[in-house]
């Protein structure tokens, strides 16, 4: 068990990890506020509670950008990040007021309390969830729009032709994050080639790999079986 870099706010993340390991049916995060607001209620009297979150978008993450209190370092941002991990595995997540009497009973009775985060429409399996949220990324790959569409909408592998830039130093088998043209992370996977090799073959067709490197161990930079999409599919 590692305790490196663990802070008080990491309780949210530890709870998310336990929920995934135990295949929980629901996670309830009790806190000092009513739930997630569109603005910081401590700083804006016009802040409104968000009762339902269908997808954790950039706007939702921005709404949680306030600092934590004196007992925690993560605040609402840490809780929304935990919600992102839990819902990606197919588990609903609720942020609710912990000081309200009977809050647990009310939630189990189906009453609308706090903020409910719906599970992803296409949840990750255990292995891909481990890749996406447990492994520490060793580098970054920037990919073009064609590769982004292939990964998000068609469930395909990442080919060297879709890579436009490489950041960091990594070796074969390391976890690497894939970012779109705007710098948004969309997926993380186990890389088939080192950073030095990817820099040589990026932008090229698969048929050119052996010509450039002198060998070809894989057609894909990251195979779809080792690629975890970190962006939820929007609900309609």
The answer on 104 and 60 residing in a single domain is yes
CATH of the domain at 36: 3.40.1160.10
The answer on 89 and 47 residing in a single domain is yes
pTM beyond cutoff 0.85? no
- DSSP-based three-state secondary structure for 196: helix
The answer on 115 and 132 residing in a single domain is no
- The reply to whether 2 falls in a domain is no
The answer on 14 and 114 residing in a single domain is yes
- DSSP-based three-state secondary structure for 188: strand
**Structural domain span for residue 224:** 128-229
**Domain termination site, one of 82, 101, 121:** 121
The answer on 132 and 55 residing in a single domain is no
Dihedral sign for Cα 181, 183, 187, 193, please.
positive
What tokens appear for 158 in the block? Answer: 């990442």
The answer on 107 and 51 residing in a single domain is yes
Tens place of pLDDT per residue across the chain (236 aa)? 555 555 545 789 889 988 988 889 999 999 989 999 988 887 888 889 999 999 888 888 888 875 444 344 458 888 999 999 999 999 999 999 999 999 999 999 999 999 999 998 888 888 898 899 888 999 999 999 999 999 999 999 999 999 999 999 999 999 999 999 999 899 999 999 999 999 999 999 999 999 999 999 999 999 999 999 976 544 33
Beta bridge partners of 68: none
- The reply to whether 205 falls in a domain is yes
**Domain termination site, one of 95, 121, 147:** 121
- The reply to whether 158 falls in a domain is yes
The answer on 106 and 40 residing in a single domain is yes
**Distance set, CA 170 to CA 100, 202, 221 (Å):** 49, 15, 13
CATH of the domain at 134: 2.30.130.10
Closest CA to 141 of 81, 88, 181, 84: 181
Closest CA to 137 of 219, 228, 59, 223: 228
The answer on 204 and 147 residing in a single domain is yes
C-alpha 114/C-alpha 35 separation (Å) is 4
C-alpha 113/C-alpha 1 separation (Å) is 35
């Amino acid at each position: 068990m590692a305790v490196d870099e663990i802070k008080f706010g990491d309780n949210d993340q530890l709870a998310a990890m336990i929920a995934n390991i135990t295949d929980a049916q629901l996670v309830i995060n009790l806190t000092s506020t009513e739930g997630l607001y569109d603005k910081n209620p401590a700083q804006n009297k016009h802040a409104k509670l968000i009762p339902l979150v269908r997808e954790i978008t950039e706007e939702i993450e921005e709404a949680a950008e306030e600092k934590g209190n004196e007992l925690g370092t993560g605040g609402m941002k840490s809780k929304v990040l935990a919600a992102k991990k839990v819902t990606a595995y197919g588990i609903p997540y609720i942020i609710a007021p912990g000081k309200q009497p009977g809050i647990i009973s009310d939630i189990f009775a189906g009453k609308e309390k706090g903020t409910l985060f719906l599970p992803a429409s296409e949840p990750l399996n255990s292995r891909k969830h481990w890749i996406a949220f447990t492994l520490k990324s060793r580098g970054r790959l920037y990919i073009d729009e064609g590769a982004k569409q292939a990964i998000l909408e068609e469930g395909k592998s990442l080919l060297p032709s879709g890579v436009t830039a490489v950041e960091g130093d990594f070796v074969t088998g390391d976890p690497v994050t894939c970012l779109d043209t705007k710098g948004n992370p969309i997926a993380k996977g186990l890389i088939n080639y080192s950073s030095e090799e990817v820099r040589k073959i990026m932008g090229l067709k698969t048929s050119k790999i052996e010509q450039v490197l002198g060998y070809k161990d894989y057609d894909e930079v990251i195979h779809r079986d080792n690629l975890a999409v970190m962006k939820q599919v929007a609900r309609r």
